[in-house]
Structure 1
Amino acid sequence: MFNAGASYAIGANRIWLAFHTENLTHTPKYLQHDVYQISDSYQLSPFALLSLMYGYAHDRTGAGNNAQQLGLLFEYSLSKSTELYSAAGFIQNRNKAAYTLSGTAYSGLATTPGTDTRGIGVGLVHKF
């Protein structure tokens, strides 16, 4: 497994690039894929942030189990330790790809291979 990422800020705008590659041959499901991501976040005000993300997962096994994802996030700070957020995501799975929307404590609903996944989340974060 290998991960790399970089970001660059231009005023209130920040661009993120990320790369992830994985070779899981010891698991029940043989997995070889590369993931490419680009994100852009814009600080609308001292309290509000808007982010947009695109990701592409390339299946290196030759089976064509690729996927692409779009994500949108809005964060609003109520104080230095509390924020509200709303996020939306869409994943287009190809062939037998079965990626889900995860990345928080919620693992995502299981999906039938090759079907699309959509989701919306809202929440409150308080840092102690």
Structure 2
Amino acid sequence: MSSEGTERKKNDREVESPKENEQLFQRSKITLRSPLQSIKKENRGDIEMEEVKKMISELATQIRDDMRESNKQLLKERNTQLKKELKTIRQELKQTRYQLQDQIKKLQISMKNGSELRKKWERKWVRQKVN
């Protein structure tokens, strides 16, 4: 019976010596730790991925904000440039208007003078005909 008991104990790994118990305990710790460690590593990976995702979204937001700011700045610069161009165009139009008004006045004067000259020539011609 004692041989059966020893065999049974060895098979069940229930060994009486403290040294063997300690070794079995260490082995069980290792076998328990490895799945836990892999789970922790996976969780760490998930946590790291979440942090990376957060960083990426923050960077994307910052890039969008920077682009908006640069677009605003570009629009301001373009707006300023267009205002300057509009100002020069208005000045050119005023100058052209003044030139046209001067030409119109000259034409009116020449038309008036032309009609007066024509009247003079007509009178002169009529006098010459009569004489």
The alignment's TM-score, normalised by the length of structure 2, stands at 0.14
Higher helix share: 2
Larger Rg: 2
Larger RCO: 1 or 2 (CA < 8 Å, sep 6+): 1
The alignment's TM-score, normalised by the length of structure 1, stands at 0.15
Higher strand share: 1
